Structure formats: structure tokens, C-alpha cells
Amino acid sequence: MRTYLVTGGAGFIGSNYIHYMFGKYDNAIRIINVDALTYAGNLANLKDIENRENYTFIRADICDREAIAKIFRGNDIDRVVHFAAETHVDRSIRTPEVFVQTNVLGTAVMLNCAKAAWELPDGSFKPGKKFLHVSTDEVYGSLPEDDNAFFYETTPYDPHSPYSASKASSDMLVRSYMDTYHFPANITNCSNNYGPYQFPEKLIPLIINNALQGRKLPVYGDGKNVRDWLYVEDHAKAIDMVQEQGRLFETYNIGGHNEKQNIEIIHIILETLQEMLPEGDPRKAYVNEGLITYVEDRKGHDRRYAIAPDKIKAEIGWEPETRFRDGIRKTIRWFFENEEWMENVTSGDYQKYYEEMYGGR
Ligand code: NAD
Ligand code: TYD
């Protein structure tokens, strides 16, 4: 039975990935989820699978070399899928050092421990072992807005935020392991994800949550920054396909073919909420454009991201499957059905962060 070590599996994409993998492979795989449970990690995301015999959760910090080495010593790990990271650009602008710590040093620890566990005396690696580093399109910087330019795997790195700089650094470390040691790895660089279990500091869940509560919808700058949105399950599928069918040592860009301005996203969410709220629901009266509030722009705000997922399509046959209108309906339905989840995640640290960030607007 193949054993996966998933880092950051209690976060947004990691938990969706674990659900996807058990849905696909059921009892044919074993997953060990290592997560420090920061403000963004939530075991409630995995409630339905926590009692599976082929699933283990270990609370550990990826920067803790001893704890990670012990997991490799105690288990014959076949696959590492490395999600754990600090992920929010606005937080990185306020507290960059924690991003360097987790994203750069934590990745170095993961690489080093995997290398130590998998390396043979002659410097080659045990057959079949693979490490997948999950990264972002933000490492490529910002594209001009009226252009048909896209990010390709060959696009030079040009990160602007402390978050993207730390992810770029971690990508470079992975590349250095592949180049220096022939370490068996892949890197994926994906565009913005949305879907169930996303923490409501990111645009889409924040807008859904605020709209339903009648709170202001904060739009940074002119609202015309463009992101390429991908439904999270499509990302989970791509990661699995890259690890199983991709060429080792390669980087694959993953994107949604779904570029939208932030303000368009907000309009779509408001329209969809209006359609989906039942007749007579009091929220129907206030869920509308009157909530939109333009606020000060993010510092160093990248203008446009857009991925050309040509390589992954040509080599592996992966394509985004979920149309944005369908994905956003599924996401909103999930938030309707999981109001308690939202109440729990917004009741503690996040509430404090929100007050600091938006001054109670
Ligand atoms: P998230 O913030 O929702 O979750 C991150 C998880 O990592 C949390 O469970 C947290 O507890 C854990 N974690 C943080 N620091 C840790 C540490 N030191 N040790 C162990 N665990 C730690 O993030 P996400 O949105 O699910 O992103 C997952 C990965 O995908 C990240 O590497 C991110 O850079 C990448 N990515 C995200 C997006 C996106 O749109 N969200 C897009 C492309 C790539
Ligand atoms: P975000 O979800 O933070 O993802 P990223 O910055 O990693 O792309 O933000 C997506 C876009 O939405 C980005 O251009 C910033 C913008 N934004 C707002 O306009 N208001 C908000 O409250 C947030 C959180 C983001």
C-alpha cells in the first residue's frame, strides 16, 4: 500500500486534496497528515475521514527537524505532497518573517528529511519515491492587463510580495535539490483556488461571508486586478495526475482559463447569492451592490495573473473541468450547509485579524 505524507492537510487545499484522494483510492493508499494547526489549519475540515484506519494525523511544525525526521523513520513514505505554508499575501505584508520561516526553512526541512530517508548509499534514490512541492503562480510576478500574455513554466520568477518571494525561494530550493542530488521531485504552480473549506480571509469566502452578514465588501484599489480562479477539486486532481503521470524533475503550471477582475467576482457572488437564497429569507433584502466598499489598495498589489496550462494538458491530459458559474454555486451551497464551520473559524484569531485589517468596516 502506498503511503503519502501530506503537509498542511488541515488547510484549505490540503483538506480538499485528502478528500479527493480517499474518494479516488479509498483503502488502496495510506495518508499521514502533518500539520501545525496554525490559525489556518482546522481539523473540522477532516471530520468525516478522521476515523479511517488508513489515515493518521500528526500535529507537528514542518520547521521541527526532529519531529519530521521521526515521521520518516517510523514510516515508509512513498509520496510527499507538500502544501504546508503561510499563504495570505496581506498577512505577509504585516509579518514577513513567519513566511520565511515556514515557507523557506520548513521546505528545507521537508526536503532534507525526505532526502535522508530515500537516499541509497550510492547517492541514488529508492525507486518510486516522489516529492511534490505545491506552489503558486504568484512567483512569476504581475502581467500587463490588456495583454494576451500568460505565465508559462519558462517565465522568469519576479515575485513582489513577501508571500510570493518566500514561495519563489522554496521553489528554488526544490529545484536545487533536483539539480544537485537528482532528488525525485516535481513543482506545480497553480492559480487562485476557491471552494469548500477556504478560510474567509481570501477574497471569495470573505465576500460570501460578509454579504450574508450584511457587512461591507472591501474592494482593494479600483477592483480591476485580475486573478485566474480554479475550483479546488480540479487542483487536487491535477496534483495527483502530475505525481502519477508527470515527468519527474518537471514543473507544471495549473490554471483555470478563468480570468476575472475582482469586481466581476463580487458581482457574480452577489447575483448567485440572490438566486440561491430562498424566498422570504431576510438576507435577500440586503445582499446587493450597496455593500461594495472601495478601500485602500494593497501595497505592491499585483495587477494580473493568468496561467497557460498548455504543458499539463499536452503531457498529462489535465484540463480545468468546473465552470466558474458551477464552482461558485457549489461553493456557496457548501457555505450555506456549513454555517457552523464559518462561525467557528471566524470566532477566534481571525476575528482579531479582521478588526486589525479592516478596522471594523
Ligand atoms: P491554507 O493557509 O489554507 O493552509 C495552510 C496549512 O498549512 C494550514 O493547515 C496550516 O495549519 C499549515 N501550516 C502552516 N504553517 C505550518 C507549519 N510551520 N508546519 C506545519 N503546518 C503548517 O493554505 P492553502 O490555501 O490550502 O494553500 C496550500 C498550499 O497551496 C500552499 O503551499 C500555497 O502556497 C499553495 N497555493 C495556494 C493557492 C490558493 O489559492 N489558496 C494557489 C496556489 C498555490
Ligand atoms: P486573495 O484572495 O488574498 O488572493 P491573492 O492575493 O493571493 O491573489 O485576493 C484575491 C484578489 O482580491 C487580490 O487582487 C486582492 C483582492 N482582495 C480584495 O479586493 N479585497 C479583499 O478583502 C481581499 C481579501 C482581497
Q: Could you tell me if 163 and 86 are in contact, meaning their C-beta atoms sit under 8 angstroms apart?
A: yes
All cell numbers assigned to 25: 483510492
Reported as type and span, the H/E element at residue 211 is helix 203-213
Q: How far is the CA of 327 from the centre of ligand 1 (A)?
A: 21
Burial class (CB in 10 A: 0-12, 13-18, 19+), 156: exposed
Q: How far is the CA of 138 from the centre of ligand 1 (A)?
A: 14
Distance CA(157)–CA(290), nearest Å, equals 39
Contact 11 CB / ligand 1 (< 6 Å): yes
Residue nearest to ligand 1 atom 41, measured at CA = 193
Closest CA to 46 of 16, 73, 71, 67: 16
The set of residues, in sequence order, having a beta carbon less than 8 Å from that of 221 and lying 6+ positions away, is 294, 296, 297, 298, 301
Residues 8, 12, 18: CA angle, nearest 5 degrees? 65
- DSSP-based three-state secondary structure for 314: helix
Q: How far is the CA of 230 from the centre of ligand 2 (A)?
A: 14
90 is catalytic: no
Reported as a single tens digit per residue, the pLDDT across 48-100 is 999 999 999 999 999 999 999 999 999 999 999 999 999 999 999 999 999 99
Task: Tell me how far CA of residue 17 lies from CA of 21, 25, 116, 120, 198, in angstroms.
Answer: 6, 12, 26, 30, 13
Q: How far is the CA of 38 from the centre of ligand 1 (A)?
A: 10
353 is catalytic: no
Contact 159 CB / ligand 2 (< 6 Å): no
pLDDT of residue 360: 55
Q: Which of 86, 138, 259, 302 is catalytic?
A: 138
Kindly write down the DSSP assignment for every residue of 104-148, as one continuous string: IIHHHHHHHHHHHHHB-TTS-B-TT-EEEEEEEGGGG----TTS-
The set of residues, in sequence order, having a beta carbon less than 8 Å from that of 356 and lying 6+ positions away, is none
For residue 82, give the ligand 1 atom closest to its CA: 32
Distance CA(305)–CA(47), nearest Å, equals 34
CATH architecture for residues 2-358: 3-Layer(aba) Sandwich (3.40)
Contact 217 CB / ligand 2 (< 6 Å): no
Reported as a single tens digit per residue, the pLDDT across 27-38 is 999 999 999 999
Q: Could you tell me if 83 and 59 are in contact, meaning their C-beta atoms sit under 8 angstroms apart?
A: no
Q: Could you tell me if 86 and 166 are in contact, meaning their C-beta atoms sit under 8 angstroms apart?
A: yes
Query: What are the sequence ranges of the domains in the chain?
Result: 2-358
181 is catalytic: no
What long-range pairs does 311-315 form, CB within 8 A, spacing at least 24? 311/152, 311/153, 311/252, 311/253, 312/238, 312/241, 312/242, 312/246, 312/252, 312/253, 312/254, 315/245, 315/246, 315/247, 315/252
pLDDT of residue 352: 73
pLDDT of residue 361: 56
For residue 137, give the ligand 1 atom closest to its CA: 43
Q: Could you tell me if 200 and 345 are in contact, meaning their C-beta atoms sit under 8 angstroms apart?
A: yes
Reported as type and span, the H/E element at residue 40 is none
Contact 260 CB / ligand 2 (< 6 Å): no
Contact 270 CB / ligand 2 (< 6 Å): no
Where would I find the beta strands (DSSP E) of the chain? 2-7, 29-35, 55-59, 79-82, 130-136, 185-190, 193-194, 217-220, 226-228, 230-231, 251-254, 259-261, 292-295
Residues 162, 163, 167: CA angle, nearest 5 degrees? 115
Residue position matching grid coordinates 474567509: 200
Q: Which of 4, 20, 55, 163 is catalytic?
A: 163
For residue 225, give the ligand 2 atom closest to its CA: 14
For residue 202, give the ligand 2 atom closest to its CA: 2
Distance CA(142)–CA(148), nearest Å, equals 13
Q: Which of 35, 137, 201, 240 is catalytic?
A: 137
Q: Which DSSP symbol is given to 257?
A: S
Q: Which parts of the chain have pLDDT scores under 70?
A: 349-350, 360-361
Q: How far is the CA of 192 from the centre of ligand 2 (A)?
A: 10
**106-118 and 162-181 are packed helices; what angle lies between their axes, rounded to 10 degrees?**
20
